[in-house]
């Protein structure tokens, strides 16, 4: 893991998390009073890993990465680093394997693996870095965030491996599976720690540590107030509608295409950046990258303003690469937009929309396709008054979705 600056609060929280492991171990141990004492690095590792589902994976990883560490806090840090290191190894493996393949679909599959595993590493690091960034009064939200980000990291690893199913690429699949098996088990171990941590804090009856997911008007509690107002009240023609950029296909706006706007959007923005796309059919493939955060897209209506594409699995590309529009950057909001994939039923998998944007929302939108129309890949997503059409698996994925 790249040098993370660990503040006092981070160390305290890490110590609490590590205590979960030690307390759990002592609760399960039998024997004399001295058995639970940490005498050496090896004994401390065994004690730390004892309550975990994948104990042997935990022990072997920490023996290789923890050095002479004996404190539960240092071991908790080391298990994050071990999981990240294993995924980085898989990224390197995917690059090596890709150099040996001439098949476009297999090459795309390995490229997808590298991209997805990079996301997994980012989410593990985000979890680690955020451990000390919250206060006791906001623990419920913070712990939910930590568990959610860990689930993202697991999903990306699983998606990489799932890409090799029903292929002839058995050697590559076996190599990637071997590397990722360890990283998945370590990530699941961390997730289990967070589950116990969450349960322990819930038993302490801390303020705001309930299980409320929706507000009174059925909007997810994680959605900021400013976005709720924008989602519910602001639309083209209203007094408060003030887009930063306007897209008009005939050239009478700021830009003619959506992708032209994306090239100008400020990256990693904490403030909302709104584009207004006027009624027309836009024949382009749109990707909202990870560094474009809090982006808002408003159209003139889901049947009037449509983004269209026709890529399919039958073009010898991966299912992920068939998508007409993908949303990766967090905090995305879309209203009054249609997205379609017109490949047709005979062409098998052909996605219209793939979403991994955390805390994203879609209002009065329409997504049309046949097989695999909407891929709710990961993260927290909210859909309201949307129309989704398709035939087989037209809504699928691992995201936490409110429809």
Over range 162-182, report the average pLDDT.
77
| Residue 2: pLDDT band with limits 50, 70, 90 | very low
pLDDT at 232 over 60: yes
The pair phi, psi for residue 170, each rounded to 5°, is: -70, -40
205 in Cβ contact with 335 (< 8 Å): no
Q: What CATH architecture does domain 10-21+33-203 belong to?
A: Up-down Bundle (1.20)
| Residue 20: pLDDT band with limits 50, 70, 90 | low
Considering the chain, what percentage of its residues have pLDDT values greater than 70?
81
d(CA 176, CA 302): 41
pLDDT of residue 381: 97
Exposed, middle or buried by CB within 10 Å (0-12, 13-18, 19+), for 181? middle
pLDDT at 22 over 60: no
Least confident of 6-20, 45-59, 109-123, 333-347: 6-20
pLDDT at 169 over 70: no
pLDDT at 230 over 50: yes
Here the tokens at position 87 are: 């995924």
pLDDT of residue 36: 42
Over range 47-70, report the average pLDDT.
85
Over range 324-335, report the average pLDDT.
97
| Domain chopping of the chain, boundaries | 10-21+33-203, 225-401
Task: Give the 3-state secondary structure of residue 308.
Answer: strand
The pair phi, psi for residue 183, each rounded to 5°, is: -65, -40
Instruction: Give the tens place of pLDDT for each residue, 59-90.
Output: 999 988 877 777 777 888 888 889 999 899 88
The string of DSSP codes covering 157-205 is: HHHHHHTTTTSS-HHHHHHHHHHHHHHHHHHHHHHHHHHHHHHHHHHTT
Instruction: Give the tens place of pLDDT for each residue, 358-403.
Output: 999 999 999 999 999 999 999 999 999 999 999 989 999 999 999 8
pLDDT of residue 254: 98
Over range 173-189, report the average pLDDT.
86
Classify the C-alpha dihedral 85-87-91-94 as positive or negative. Answer: positive
Over range 311-322, report the average pLDDT.
93
CATH among 3.30.450.40, 2.160.20.10, 3.40.50.300, 3.40.50.850 for 225-401: 2.160.20.10
pLDDT of residue 168: 63
Active site residues: 393
pLDDT at 117 over 80: yes
d(CA 329, CA 327): 6
Chain centroid to Cα 15, Å, comes to 26
Over range 265-286, report the average pLDDT.
97
pLDDT at 239 over 60: yes
Classify the C-alpha dihedral 260-264-268-274 as positive or negative. Answer: negative
Here the tokens at position 281 are: 């059919």
Residue at token pair 């909407």? 374
Residue 16: C-alpha distances to residues 70, 137, 192, 288, 383 (Å): 15, 16, 14, 37, 36
d(CA 222, CA 148): 12
pLDDT of residue 287: 98
- Compare 140 and 188 and report the one with higher pLDDT: 188
pLDDT of residue 9: 42
d(CA 274, CA 291): 15
């Amino acid at each position: 893991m790249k040098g993370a600056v660990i503040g006092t609060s981070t160390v305290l929280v890490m110590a609490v998390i590590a205590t979960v492991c030690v307390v759990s171990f002592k609760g399960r141990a039998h024997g004399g009073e001295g058995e639970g004492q940490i005498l050496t690095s090896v004994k401390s590792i065994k004690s730390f890993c004892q309550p975990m589902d994948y104990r042997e994976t935990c022990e072997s990883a920490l023996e290789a990465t923890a050095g002479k560490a004996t404190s539960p806090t240092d071991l908790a840090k080391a298990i994050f680093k071990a999981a990240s290191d294993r995924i980085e190894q898989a990224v390197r493996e995917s690059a090596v394997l890709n150099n040996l393949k001439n098949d476009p679909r297999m090459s795309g599959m390995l490229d997808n693996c590298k991209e997805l595993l990079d996301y997994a590493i980012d989410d593990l690091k985000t979890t680690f870095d955020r451990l000390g960034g919250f206060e006791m009064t906001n623990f419920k939200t913070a712990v939910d965030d930590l568990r959610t980000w860990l689930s993202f990291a697991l999903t990306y690893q699983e998606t990489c491996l799932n890409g090799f199913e029903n292929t002839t690429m058995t050697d590559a699949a076996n190599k990637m599976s071997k590397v990722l098996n360890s990283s998945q088990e370590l990530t699941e171990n961390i997730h289990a720690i967070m589950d116990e941590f969450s349960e322990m804090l819930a038993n302490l009856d801390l303020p705001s540590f309930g299980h409320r997911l929706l507000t009174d008007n059925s909007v997810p509690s994680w959605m900021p107030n400013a976005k709720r107002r924008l989602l519910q009240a602001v639309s083209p023609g209203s007094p408060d509608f003030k887009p930063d950029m306007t897209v008009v296909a005939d050239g009478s706006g700021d830009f003619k295409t959506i992708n032209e706007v994306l090239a100008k959007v400020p990256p990693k923005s904490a403030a909302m950046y709104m584009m207004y796309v006027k009624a027309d059919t836009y024949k382009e493939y749109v990707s909202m990258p990870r560094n474009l955060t809090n982006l808002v897209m408003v159209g003139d209506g889901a049947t009037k303003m449509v983004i269209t594409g026709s890529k399919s699995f039958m073009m010898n590309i991966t299912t992920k690469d068939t998508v007409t529009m993908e949303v990766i950057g967090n905090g995305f909001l879309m209203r009054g937009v249609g997205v379609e994939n017109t490949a047709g039923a005979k062409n098998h998998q052909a996605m219209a929309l793939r979403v991994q944007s955390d805390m994203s929302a879609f209002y009065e939108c329409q997504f049309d396709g046949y097989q695999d129309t909407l891929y709710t890949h990961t993260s927290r997503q909210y859909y309201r008054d949307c129309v989704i059409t398709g035939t087989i698996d037209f809504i699928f994925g691992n995201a936490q979705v409110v429809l």
